[in-house]
Structure 1
Amino acid sequence: MTTDGFLNLHKPAGITSHDCVGRVRRLLQLKRVGHGGTLDPAVTGVLPIALGKATRLLQFLQHNKAYRGTIRFGLTTATDDLEGEIIHSQPVPDLTLEKVQAALPNFLGKIEQFPPNFSAVQVGGKRLYELARKGEKVELAARNVEVFRLEILDWRSGDFPELDLSIACGAGTYIRAIARDLGAQLNAGGTLACLTRTESSGFSIDQSLSFAELEQQLQENTFRPILPAQVLGHLGTIVLSPEYTKRWFQGQRLPIPETPIEGNQKISSNPPENLTAQPPYPLQVYDRDGKFLGIGQVASSETSIILSPQIVL
């Protein structure tokens, strides 16, 4: 059984993403293991894991993510979630769902966001959470992020009301920051009570495996890594002839037609529209037997369009 591919891991609470990589490495007895999209220790859900040679493909995964989370109002903490020291606690029984609904549109689309002080953002080669633990304050510039969807799932009123949300967003978006900023805008205070990532890099929580399920599949010899083609479809594909396949493995740059032609072409795309975008852009590369060969970079020269090997497997 080949171990090159991906694992859609359902990360449990209480351990880091790095801990998950170590555990997968031991279970599969595999040295080369990596993950995409770090999750905080308290957060559960989809953690994409790359196995073997697929670790070189992590950079090409989709960046969009989706979450299901709960915001608790009337409370602010040092970490913007329940893991941190409570900074302020004040009941807000008068906060209504209608007020929350009126404020939510301000957090849709392209927005500016300050990362939480306790986060993995690097400043001067050090993580923010390392500096925060030392009591060092760092002035950060706001970051541009994008939120595609904010859907209310449930509302529970009371002294410390709670809001359940479904959130779809781009890379770099902090849900803890949304909880903090929404609470501030409502003059109520807010913190993230719990969070589950439901989608990441083309992986869905419905198809994710817990560690227990992974161990069972390994014992029964039924575990099969997810093939690159199943998660890299957003890149498009290009198929090489035997002659070009040989040259591909030699690391040669390959000239390709701007518009694919029928017949005895040496190189073809599927679908043809893949070669109509403005270069540079990456494509999956296959041979005519459907074997995945790696990732090529399409670029234009003065005289032609060129496919350059970027990741050769």
Structure 2
Amino acid sequence: AFWIKQRLSLNRVGHGGTLDPKVTGVLPVGLDNATKIMHYVSRSTKEYVCVMQVHSDFEKESLKSWIMKFKGKIYQRPPVRSSVSRKLRTRKIYDIEVTEIEDRLVLMKVISEHGTYMRKLCHDIGILSGYGAHMRELRRTRTGIFDERNLVTMHEFSEAVYMWKNCKDESFIRKIIMPMEIATCGIPKIMVDNNAVSAIAYGAKLTAPGVVGFQQFKKDDVVCVITTKGELVSVGKALMDYRRLAKVDKGEVASTDRVFIDRDVYPKHWGDKDGGSS
């Protein structure tokens, strides 16, 4: 992220989930205002392709059955070399599949909750099975909606920046940098009228009069507030579910935890009857 920040001369750059040294794959990067959405991207589902080295000879079907025991909720303690507190915690493995076995090398595809350590998963599989094991190679193939189809190498990025800065050709960099709204795919949306936007931009909660449309969501879900043009206004927590919202014409609908739209893009309508703010 720092490397990108330098080349684009930006004030803020953030990423959506750390990749350990020697680990390759998908690393979403947010630029300037979009760094705030990385908080939610980093908490999305992850997909990995992992090569596990088994320490002793094993029966294939026996090892596969042990591996499948890790599907579902598991307990993990972060490795010694980690950036978080080494407290025991639960994480969920949504799917784990053995795709290939060659000698003592096992290729696995794992879909997991954020914050799951693949290195620790391999170690624990080795302990539980009695064969012993460690992670040999790891590649992240998906973070939320971003997968390997979206990948851009550092070399490709450097070339695009060069073409933009030295040849005044923006076409390549525009193919690489996506609108931040794309990162919100999968998060329920609440659409508001123009009168509500400015108040929310100043930190007001969304109230029912400003709502013109919405998707299904539950109370306490993370929701995105968008304009009728599809612009991301804010992200917050739902203060009621969509069924209640469909029946009311007043009341607080969502908190405003992070604001993405500039305050002066839409005119102020504070105090209007249908202003949609509180």
TM-score range, shorter chain: 0.7 to 0.9
Residue number in structure 2 paired with 1:30: 10
Residue number in structure 1 paired with 2:110: 167
Residue number in structure 2 paired with 1:8: none
2:69 is paired with a residue whose SS is: helix
How far is 1:235 from its partner?
Answer: 1.6
| Cα deviation code 1:72-128 (max 9, x no counterpart) | 111xxxxxxxxxxxxxxxxx2x31212211211211100112222222223xxxxxx
Cα separation, partners in 2 of 1:248 and 1:113, compared to 1, 3 Å: closer
**1:63 and 2:9 equivalent?**
no
Residue number in structure 2 paired with 1:287: 227
After superposition, residues 223-302 of structure 1 pair within 5 angstroms as 223-224=173-174, 225-256=177-208, 266-269=210-213, 272-274=214-216, 277-300=217-240
Q: TM-score, normalised by structure 1?
A: 0.71
How far is 1:250 from its partner?
Answer: 3.6
Identity of aligned residues (%): 24
1:219 is paired with a residue whose SS is: helix
How far is 1:168 from its partner?
Answer: 0.5
How far is 1:203 from its partner?
Answer: 1.1
2:218 is paired with a residue whose SS is: coil
| Cα deviation code 1:273-310 (max 9, x no counterpart) | 43xx3323332222223332222443259x72333332
Checking the alignment, whether the CA contact within 8 Å between 2:181 and 2:231 is kept in structure 1 is: no
Q: Which blocks of at least 5 consecutive residues in structure 2 are unaligned?
A: 164-169, 245-249, 262-278
2:28 is paired with a residue whose SS is: strand
Which residue among 133, 142, 150 is the counterpart of 1:199? 142
Question: Which has the higher relative contact order, 1 or 2, with Cα contacts under 8 A spaced 6 or more apart?
Answer: 1
Residue number in structure 2 paired with 1:213: 156
Output the amino acid matched with 2:96: L
Which residue among 83, 89, 106 is the counterpart of 2:69? 106
Which residue among 229, 251, 268 is the counterpart of 1:304? 251
Cα separation, partners in 2 of 1:99 and 1:34, compared to 1, 3 Å: same
2:138 is paired with a residue whose SS is: strand
| Cα deviation code 1:149-181 (max 9, x no counterpart) | 111121112xxx110111100012111111111
Q: Which blocks of at least 5 consecutive residues in structure 1 are unaligned?
A: 1-20, 75-91, 123-139, 258-265
| Cα deviation code 1:203-223 (max 9, x no counterpart) | 102211110111122233221
Cα separation, partners in 2 of 1:64 and 1:254, compared to 1, 3 Å: closer
Q: What RMSD, in angstroms, separates the aligned Cα atoms of the two structures?
A: 2.2
